[in-house]
Chains A and B, each alone.
Chain A
């Protein structure tokens, strides 16, 4: 978390000087604007907008912050303050599949942390990182509300239930297939 934060801060300091191409496309802007009537303030659109950007780009690039701030009538610092509170939004693109393996109590009791380690080995990345082919980002999650299927994993919208160490290799392959749009 901390190195990621430092990296972000370094980028932020060079943010105002940027002359880069806009990252918010007209389509993204339209999607964000569609949320305006739902709330009495523009600021309330911050989270929905960050989700829209994140869905399109699989991360929230620095350049998006001043652009979004301008749309919402906020200072970039306000948008950044919110964004950085939620460790969820990354400054580097995530894999096509973002997989959270639960490490909270009910999963942990049934081997969740061993599954996370096994998947980490099979995929060749530490939790928090993305495979070199850009397909899978592996992360730990706190209780995913899937304790009836512990140990559980959420990968994009797909739930993987009752995982175990023995089948970790298979599951790693399924994650890659999922990233390729195959295997359901």
Chain B
């Protein structure tokens, strides 16, 4: 992909890339002007729809289609919630966009708001991003001062306010309805859907929730058109497949020589990311496994590194999906027990606790993995873990949100792809199968 010209990161290497002056000098805020002067909200929705832009926040839902679900002729207000909670382990692309090109993000929000007739946007920024928060606030202030935000934008009669809303270190606030509850000042318990936010979201009004990177694509689609957008990525294979078009910010971290965020057309293979963009596996070692798109997505084995990282690729090798396209590489020395313990501990810590299968399943997984890791595991524990992994999540229909699916997939994939290693670890560290503390009986009931 030597000839790929960056789109979303075209500005970030310029000095003072975060300022209005630099953004405008590079053609910034032309797209919102064009939209306001020459297009209707409906035209804007249709334009984005025809680009097949899919959400970059993890679920890959077509962006224009989501916008079209808002009720027509609703008296309002309508809200835009921008998801900048970015907390999926190994993911940092939204941070780079917010810190280094906040105006690009704001322009995407402006166009999204016009399209959906939202006059108020809240950007929910995770607490751990103080620089992003500061840069976005400066950018918003610059826009108000320049008349790019507020009342009657570009003489169009369209009014828009954008506010930042700061999170408080909870992963679940990234789930769209958890985010809305948190915005409303409540604990971030995801809501049962339907109703979807498009019908009843923030403050019980129609609401769009979009990821930072999704929205950053929008000004470019307006400027250069949906056909240009579709020259990048992996084409649709039929009417039911929206394809994987456009540029994507891939994050590469873990055991590579040069961890970084790199922009490429959707569909690059995991191996190319590691070898070419991540500088290869560190210390001259071999790769053993990789997380394809944030911790929730499961695991690729080394043999599966040729999987293309588009929306369809990871699913074909048993992973949950593309997720956030954040790759974490593990070298040949990594124990899958350590990986699983780390994953299970994360989800147990972050489960919001309202669904019993998720609350209990994640915390039992953590405890079992901790015990296995300490050399007190039994082969039977792998059956229990297997059973937890197939009984929690939206997929089996036992939980309200997708956190539980994300907790299940690392277990599922590790058990399917690295079972002999897990068994060998248990046999080696606990040859007699003796365990001082028995797991509580409740566990057996939970997992049937």
Contacts and interface: CB of A to CB of B under 8 A. Distances in A.
Contacts of A44: 183-185, 203
A63 interface: no
Interface in B229-280: 251, 253-255, 259-261
B131 A89 contact: no
A41 B203 contact: yes
A148 B259 CA distance: 5
B169 A88 contact: yes
A143 B90 CA distance: 7
Contacts of B352: 85
A108 interface: yes
A82 B338 CA distance: 33
A105 B89 CA distance: 7
A142 B89 contact: yes
Contacts of A50: 168
A175 B352 CA distance: 32
Given A45-B185, A105-B254, A105-B295, A148 B87 contact: no
A135 interface: no
A43 B186 contact: yes
Contacts of A106: 89-90, 253-254, 259, 328
Given A44-B183, A146-B92, A148-B92, A51 B251 contact: no
B261 A148 contact: yes
A131 interface: no
Interface in B162-219: 163, 165-171, 182-188, 203
Contacts of B165: 47-48
B366 interface: no
A51 B89 contact: no
A89 B168 contact: yes
Given A47-B168, A105-B342, A145 B86 contact: yes
A28 interface: no
A24 interface: no
Scoring B92, B131, B334 by chain A CB atoms within 10 A of each residue's CB, the highest score goes to B92
Nearest to A79: B185
Interface residues of A, number: 43
Given A106-B328, A143-B88, A148-B253, A154 B128 contact: yes
B128 A144 contact: yes
Contacts of A133: none
Nearest to B88: A143
Contacts of A148: 92, 251, 253, 259-261
A166 interface: no
Contacts of B418: none
Interface in A34-86: 38-41, 43-48, 50-51, 72, 78, 81-82, 85-86
A104 B291 CA distance: 13
A110 B254 contact: yes
B259 A150 contact: yes
A132 interface: no
B343 interface: yes
A72 B168 CA distance: 19
B166 A48 contact: yes
B127 A88 contact: yes
Nearest to B95: A145
A181 B339 CA distance: 38
A109 B255 contact: yes
A100 interface: yes
Nearest to B352: A85
B378 interface: no
B346 A104 contact: yes
B151 to A, nearest CB: 14
A106 B252 CA distance: 9
B91 interface: yes
A87 interface: yes
A41 B184 contact: yes
Contacts of A145: 86-87, 91-92, 94-95, 126, 128-129
A88 B171 CA distance: 12
B330 interface: yes
A33 B161 CA distance: 18
B185 A43 contact: yes
Contacts of B261: 148
Interface of B: 77, 86-92, 94-95, 126-131, 161, 163, 165-171, 182-188, 203, 251, 253-255, 259-261, 291, 295, 326, 328, 330, 334, 338-339, 342-343, 346, 349-350, 352
Given A85-B187, A88-B168, A141-B128, 6 more contacts: A106-B259, A109-B328, A142-B350, A143-B88, A147-B92, A154-B128
10 contacts: A38-B161, A44-B184, A47-B183, A105-B328, A106-B254, A108-B338, A142-B349, A145-B94, A147-B91, A154-B130
Interface of A: 38-41, 43-48, 50-51, 72, 78, 81-82, 85-89, 100, 103-106, 108-110, 141-150, 154, 156-157, 159
In order of increasing CB-CB distance, the 3 nearest A-B pairs are A46-B185, A85-B187, A147-B253
